[in-house]
A and B are shown apart, each in its own frame.
Chain A
Amino acid sequence: MSKINITIDNRKIEVEAGSTILEAAKNIGVEIPTLCHMNLHDLNVENKPAGCRVCVVEVEGRKNLAPSCATKVNEGMVIRTNNMRVINSRRTVMEFILSDHPKDCLVCAKNGVCDLQNMAAQLGVREIPNQEIYSMSEYRLDTSPSIIRNMDKCIMCRKCETMCNEVQTVGALYATGRGFDAVVSTPFHMDLVDTNCTYCGQCVAVCPTAALTEVDHTRAVIRAINDKSKTVVVQTAPAVRAALGEEFGLEAGHLVTGQMVAGLRQLGFDHIFDTDFAADVTIMEEGTELLDRLGKHLAGDKDVKLPILTSCCPGWVNFFETQFPDMLDIPSTARSPQQIFGSIAKTYFAEQLKIKREDMIVVSVMPCVAKKYEAQRDEFKTDGNPDVDISITTRELAQLMKQANLDIKTLPEEEFDQPMGESTGAGVIFGTTGGVIEAATRTAYELYTKKTLENVEFKQLRGMEGIRSATVDFDGFDLKIGIAHGLGNARQLLNDIRDGKSDFHAIEVMACPGGCIGGGGQPYHHGDSSILKKRAAALYTEDERKVKRKSHTNPAVIKVYEDFLGAPMSHKAHQLLHTNYFDKQQEGPEIVKGDDCTSCN
């Protein structure tokens, strides 16, 4: 890259040609404020509509101010980022934006973590002149099982639109209307539940205000714990421990597993369990299913569906149900770890406690907002009683802990309860892209080759590239593996399968970029994608620390099969741990339940 010379705020500097004024200024420590700009370098995602106009700067020789996020530097360019003309304009634009934004900060979901609020403070806006005569944009509040859209708070930064369209290729959110009535909305302003929305929550993850937030279930958790007639069981997903610390000011990637357990115990949960346990069970089922299909395939069965696709991610499940209903027989039928946990908890564990399932409340702590929807799916209920009663996000757990004066930094490390707190390193890495398939490979390798796997780390499956592929030597048989994170990438692999161009045996898909560590329920990354890498590294570290790193060696898992489930893919396992998928392009899916176990018939 060639270098060019420019002047920023009277300082002559040399910068790379092709960089923007915003980037160039950053080089010399000048942080120009931005609202709509977002560059997730590690994921190759950029949102740059140049729409908020907060980042405007003065460029010598130009009549108007230039948006620094989208204006490239030229040789000899003279830029002022901070003279009074710039500051007055920036502040006036901010007053415009605030004049059309509700002022209910005190009870807002984003209070304290709102980019708009912070920017208003930074720019010193204290009053909006003439606010009393200004009308405000008002839109219908839209509540879905996972996401609330309060578009009164939309500032048209279009970040959600970029995530929903360019990254996820879902197309549920797009700018609509004109002028003052312009707002990001759904097609024909439908409710989110009536759209293709997968509830992946990437819109929530990037929304700078509270226009898009998760449905808050913290009140329900408090009510459940307060109810003395209930036994409240909590499970925590692997990605939560790698991110929860951020909510308490810890560096991204700081593992807080033990402190989180202590916090949950303080909050009053009766049994503190680990979703990792269920992840190990998932591998037993999914790995067995993979080997089953592979065996049939190698025996010459032409009808067997390969590649097999993972099915742990509810956003991904929603995606193929709405967008690829002709391919519902390809994914594994194994339920997600959240649901496997709930199912085992309300049968096996409830029996151990000698309580009725109705008297047990299963709370899950997830990095995800789609899990809220998944928990409410009819097929995961028995007589109307859901296997997982309440699903909260990492952020909601942090909220509850803060309400209870619990600081993760000062809590002691404690252990999960038994039996469903026992897990392996394979279960831990479920939380990052590539982790599920790596866990499955560890188990499938040993079951297939009947040999002990010495080096359990399949580094070729790790990384942040959107689509990855690797071949694993199964003692002479080449297992071809594909990995996609982000639904746009998943779409590419699905299209290849549909076109008969895919030669993979197994594909792992996670809806969110980075996998669960980048989920819509995680602490806000505020556009810093390096955070995701640190979280992923933390999970691999936890995996390394574990004595047992293969799912099928988890003693608690072995015991639950011995005592209760029988073998993987047994009839009971099918009933409790597997599911069916529905064509969501059709109205009213038909629910297949209980004894109509299609897998066994």
Chain B
Amino acid sequence: MSKINQHILTCGGTGCRASESKELAQNLRDEIASNPAIEGSVKVVECGCFGFCEKGPIVKMLPDNTFYTQVKPTNAKEIIEEHIVKGRKIENLLYTDPVTKEVIDESKNMGFYKKQHRIALRNCGFVDPENIGEYIAREGYEALGRAIFEQEPQVIIDTIKASGLRGRGGGGFPTGLKWEFTKNAKGDQKYVVCNADEGDPGAFMDRSILEGDPHSIIEAMAICAYAIGANEGLVYIRAEYPLAIDRLKIAIKQAEETGLLGDNILGSDFSFKITIKYGAGAFVCGEETALIQSMEGLRGEPNLKPPFPAESGYFQKPTNVNNVETLANIPVILNKGADWYASMGTEKSKGTKVFALAGKINNVGLIEVPMGTTLREVIFDIGGGIKDGKKFKAVQTGGPSGGCLTEEHLDTPIDFDNLLAIGSMMGSGGMVVLDEDDCMVSMAQFYLEFTVEESCGKCAPCRIGNKRLHETLEKITQGKGVMEDLHQLRNMSEVIKETSLCGLGQTSPNPVLSTLDNFWDEYVEHVEDKKCVAGQCKSMLRYVITEEDCVGCTACVRVCPTNAITGTKKKPHIINQDLCIKCGACMDKCSFDSILLIA
């Protein structure tokens, strides 16, 4: 048998699979199998997400690091014949920088990757998530082994505390402290829970980690269990993540078979098992007390804290709940040391953070940058700037709990406290970039629509207040708002924030408050001038006929369903705004571009 000397890494994440990456991988294997010259020396590996989703499916060639983008299953033959057999790079599959037009063949030279520092995502796009050996080969389970045989639980907790790691699920609570609380809580049985109920619209870092590097989570949970004195772990994962669930199941099985999970791990006295609990897709179940209720088979709704889960959690036992991304950092911190981790980031936010870039940005995808990187670097250097050369308007961070930030905030170093200070939040790391065509009132309305759906309904301000916010925003976007509504919006938002029971209601008005703060004039325009400059609020738009371009052909008159257009033949026509239903049929029909849509 010949030695494998070339690897073809394909993206096996959910996004690229939707673009037929699985078929692509199969085609590559078929091509290799049908070529006796290379068979046995080239291996195709389906990895986790590479992050550069904008250009997926991704294929990376090793050892020469060639990075192919937007590869289709039909490209398989070419890749094998040209790249593998003849050693020639396929030009049209290489990445072209949208600004410099330079063709770049290695990821490390691409703007998207240059400023990234991947810790939580270290193995995504490198290892086969379904093969424990590949994880072990990259220092996997070393931290666990060292913990069990060489370290006292308190030493581990002290290391995590010293690293400055804070919860990546949104709260930003110091992870080491949380572990310590659970360790010190009295209880005959303790639990480690991995919160994989990722719910922010557009955020998919947790899914990507579980799909691309499930063993890092298993290892981290085991370390946590050892540190706090637990022997049972639970992963609460959305049932909508089938691929992540599959890979996690495979990983748990492999870890058990390898003696890294189960009774007497690595022959020690320490035993730990993991079971999977499925969530039904309720956003609020990402809140730890609601998550615990849901795991217990109860209605997923939060409880007042205290008591915190560390004292009384799953079935009233001390329970440590950490989010996926938080856990993914644990083994690396223990391998490389607290000082190494704490050397990255800002004063109070250490390490790196994964963000899901979305919206009107050139490079949509998943990125990981050191804390303290500025919004400008993320959006323009990594994200490649705004699509179609449009103007940057705002960036929405923190998902439905966050706020909209503007041009003036672009040079703010991103960390937990800075984002809070400017009226947004880190959240789980969603980042939606908006351009001049986005209406900020509609934006707030969009997020409220989400929270209205996802509120559990337990407390009155969140259950009813958010609905009222949404209805008031709708009134404004329909052109029926009055100035008093803006004052109502602010009062309602502030009251909902300070009276709601859990984090959902305490943050859900943020999109409203931040847009009121940063885009007050736009609200006033909607209310006073009945004008939406972004052109998104349809009810405020008007179709008008430009007198000089109209030849009076009457085509528009014939197509108008409400007889809103009148005029004499061969003379300019006019649209009666009272009758117009803004269907746009006239504009489609006009051959002279004489009908305009104006704000």
| Interface residues of A, Cβ cutoff 8 Å to B | 49-54, 56, 63-65, 67, 70-72, 88-89, 92-93, 96-97, 99-100, 129-130, 133-135, 155-156, 174-183
Contacts and interface: CB of A to CB of B under 8 A. Distances in A.
A63 B498 contact: yes
Given A65-B499, A93-B495, A130-B485, A178 B456 contact: yes
B458 A51 contact: yes
Q: Which 3 A-B pairs have the closest CB atoms?
A: A182-B457, A179-B455, A96-B464
A130 B472 contact: yes
B458 A53 contact: no
Given A49-B458, A130-B468, A178-B282, A93 B488 contact: no
A53 B463 contact: no
A352 B498 CA distance: 71
B419 to A, nearest CB: 16
Contact of B467 (A64, A67, A89, A180): A180
Contacts of A180: 452, 455, 457, 463-464, 466-467
Contacts of A133: 471-472, 474-475, 480
B464 A100 contact: yes
Nearest to A91: B495
Contacts of B467: 100, 134-135, 179-180
25 contacts: A49-B458, A50-B304, A50-B459, A50-B501, A51-B458, A53-B460, A56-B499, A63-B498, A64-B497, A71-B304, A89-B499, A92-B461, A92-B465, A93-B499, A96-B464, A100-B467, A133-B474, A134-B467, A156-B458, A175-B458, A176-B299, A178-B284, A178-B456, A180-B464, A182-B458
Contacts of B453: 178-179
Contact of B461 (A53, A88, A129): A53
A96 B459 CA distance: 11
Contact of B463 (A63, A92, A130, A156): A156
A100 B471 CA distance: 13
Nearest to A175: B299
Contacts of B459: 50-53
Contact of A178 (B306, B455, B475, B485): B455
B21 interface: no
Contact of A175 (B301, B460, B506): B301
B142 interface: no
Question: Which among B306, B463, B485 has the highest number of chain A CB atoms within 10 Å?
Answer: B463
Interface in B462-487: 463-468, 471-472, 474-475, 480, 484-485
Nearest to A179: B455
A179 B463 contact: yes
Given A178-B453, A179-B466, 17 more contacts: A49-B458, A50-B459, A51-B501, A53-B459, A54-B460, A56-B498, A100-B464, A130-B468, A130-B471, A130-B485, A133-B472, A156-B458, A156-B460, A174-B299, A176-B299, A180-B467, A182-B463
Given A93-B461, A135-B471, A179-B463, A88 B456 contact: no
Nearest to A161: B299
B304 A96 contact: no
Interface of B: 282, 284, 299, 301, 304, 306, 452-461, 463-468, 471-472, 474-475, 480, 484-485, 488, 491-492, 495, 497-501, 506
Contacts of B456: 178-179, 182
A371 to B, nearest CB: 32
Given A53-B499, A70-B304, A130 B475 contact: yes
A70 B302 CA distance: 14
B302 to A, nearest CB: 10
A396 to B, nearest CB: 31
Contacts, number: 119
Question: Which among B453, B488, B499 has the highest number of chain A CB atoms within 10 Å?
Answer: B499
A130 B457 contact: no
A182 B498 CA distance: 21
B270 to A, nearest CB: 36
A93 B460 contact: yes
Contacts of A89: 495, 498-499
Given A130-B471, A133-B475, A156-B457, A67 B500 contact: no
A88 B490 CA distance: 13
Contact of B460 (A51, A65, A176, A181): A51
Contacts of B484: 129
A565 B560 CA distance: 88
Contact of A64 (B464, B466, B488, B506): B506
Contacts of A178: 282, 284, 453-457
B310 to A, nearest CB: 17
A89 B452 CA distance: 20
Contacts of A174: 299
Nearest to B283: A178
A178 B467 CA distance: 12
Contacts of B499: 53, 56, 64-65, 89, 93
Contacts of A179: 452-457, 463, 466-467
Contacts of A155: 460
B468 to A, nearest CB: 6
Nearest to B497: A64
Contact of A96 (B457, B465, B472, B474): B465
Nearest to B300: A178
Nearest to B482: A130
A129 B458 contact: no
B457 A53 contact: no
Question: Which among B282, B452, B459 has the highest number of chain A CB atoms within 10 Å?
Answer: B459
B585 to A, nearest CB: 30
Nearest to A158: B458
B468 A99 contact: yes
B432 to A, nearest CB: 22
Contacts of B488: 129-130
A444 B557 CA distance: 97
B393 to A, nearest CB: 28
A75 to B, nearest CB: 15
Nearest to B485: A130
A204 B453 CA distance: 30
B458 to A, nearest CB: 5
A53 B501 contact: yes
Nearest to A72: B306
Nearest to B480: A133
A97 B497 CA distance: 16
Contacts of A181: 457
A237 B464 CA distance: 43
Contacts of B471: 130, 133-135
A521 B500 CA distance: 35
A408 to B, nearest CB: 38
Contacts of B304: 50, 67, 70-71
Contacts of A53: 459-461, 499-501
A92 B492 contact: yes
A199 B204 CA distance: 49
A349 to B, nearest CB: 52
Contacts of B458: 49, 51, 156, 175, 182
A178 B465 CA distance: 14
Contacts of A51: 458-460, 501
B455 to A, nearest CB: 4
A88 B466 CA distance: 17
Contacts of A183: 457
A52 B501 CA distance: 9
Contacts of A182: 455-458, 463
A378 B184 CA distance: 62
B518 to A, nearest CB: 21
A156 B306 CA distance: 22
A491 B465 CA distance: 40
A169 to B, nearest CB: 15
Nearest to B484: A129
Contact of B468 (A56, A72, A88, A96): A96
A92 B495 contact: yes
Contacts of B475: 130, 133
B460 A96 contact: yes
Contacts of B501: 50-51, 53, 67
